């Protein structure tokens, strides 16, 4: 029997602390950062819609079968809106960027997300981000941007547009997720959004790209990793953090995405790091830590 959600907001456990919440939430963008390498090495080439649908729908249905809970009332349209922002629109745009840009560069544009979230929080949440935290956000963006100043070739404009759009959509989803709260645990919310986004993407994938004639063992391993680790686990921790942390704090943690993507590209794809890139990496990492500290002190 499938249960329906009660509309009591999820409360943090007694063991929950801001530092613990931040560390658990940071696992999500760190996992997202590994998706770039997994896509390049393991997934079928040039199939962003297939990658997006296969990332979302199996993981969503698996979680839904486990939680056996459906939305009710206004949470049907709220979940559909969040599911399209976080998954249905975000995933294909993300994979378009991943296939067209180096992983570290694609993830770099995510560094603008804290500034987008800070701007959206003013009209939607009626809150202003403290100036010191905004300066940390700017420092993070500058540090991550510095990591890409030595790119050997001009970045693909379609890839850049796709990644900027994806970053903006997730920023809006963070603010709306904080505004609306959640009637269910993070795992259940993850299942709802992945299923809705995956159901929207599947017919589009079949109509536009179709399916490959064969799947290799590497493809299957890649889909399993991206779906279970980079999506089901990562998004559960991410949605948990959206509810427990300040919006800009959550968004600042997304900086772990380009940092991990850069390190993964260096380790697995033979990409080199210049002294300027190392400097940018250090600036972004320090600003991330300082920004998180200030966010906790101003909550």
CA atoms within 13 A on the CB side of 280: 25
Using alpha carbons only, what angle is made at residue 287 by residues 284 and 293, rounded to the nearest 5 degrees? 145
Q: Give the residues across from 69 on adjacent strands.
A: 3
Low-confidence ranges of the chain (pLDDT < 50): 1-2, 4, 6-11, 297-299
* pLDDT tens digits, one per residue of 142-157: 877 776 655 555 668 8
Which residue from 157, 169, 217 is spatially nearest to 193, judged by alpha carbons?
169
What are the tens digits of pLDDT across the range 217-265?
Answer: 999 999 999 999 999 999 999 999 988 888 877 877 877 777 787 777 7
* 140 close to 288: Cβ distance less than 8 angstroms: yes
What is the number of other CB atoms lying within 10 angstroms of the CB of residue 271?
A: 17
pTM of the full structure: 0.82
Task: Quote the pLDDT of residue 1.
Answer: 44
């Amino acid at each position: 029997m499938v249960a329906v959600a009660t509309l009591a907001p999820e409360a943090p456990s007694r063991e929950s602390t801001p530092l613990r919440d931040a560390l658990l939430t940071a696992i999500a963008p760190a996992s997202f950062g590994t998706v770039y390498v997994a896509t390049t090495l393991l997934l079928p080439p040039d199939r962003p819609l297939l990658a997006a649908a296969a990332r979302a729908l199996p993981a969503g249905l698996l979680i839904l079968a486990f939680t056996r809970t459906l939305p009710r009332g206004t949470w049907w349209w709220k979940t559909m809106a969040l599911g399209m922002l976080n998954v249905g629109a975000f995933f294909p745009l993300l994979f378009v960027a991943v296939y067209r840009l180096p992983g570290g560069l694609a993830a770099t544009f995510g560094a603008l997300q804290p500034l987008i979230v800070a701007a959206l929080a003013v009209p939607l949440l009626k809150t202003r981000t403290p100036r010191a935290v905004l300066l940390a956000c700017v420092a993070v963006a500058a540090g991550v941007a510095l990591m890409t100043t030595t790119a050997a070739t001009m970045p693909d404009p379609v890839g850049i547009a796709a990644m900027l759009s994806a970053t903006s959509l997730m920023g809006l989803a963070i603010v709306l997720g904080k505004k609306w709260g959640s009637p269910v645990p993070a795992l259940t919310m993850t299942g709802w959004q992945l299923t809705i986004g995956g159901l929207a993407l599947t017919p589009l994938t079949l109509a536009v790209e179709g399916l490959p004639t064969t799947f290799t063992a590497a493809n299957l391993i890649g889909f399993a990793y991206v779906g279970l680790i980079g999506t089901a686990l990562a998004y559960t921790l991410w949605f948990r953090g959206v509810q427990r942390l300040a919006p800009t704090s959550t968004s600042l943690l997304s900086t772990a995405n380009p940092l991990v993507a850069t390190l993964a590209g260096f380790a697995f794809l033979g990409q080199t790091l210049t002294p300027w890139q190392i400097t940018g990496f250090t600036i972004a990492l320090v600003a991330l830590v300082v920004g998180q500290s200030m966010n906790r002190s101003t909550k």
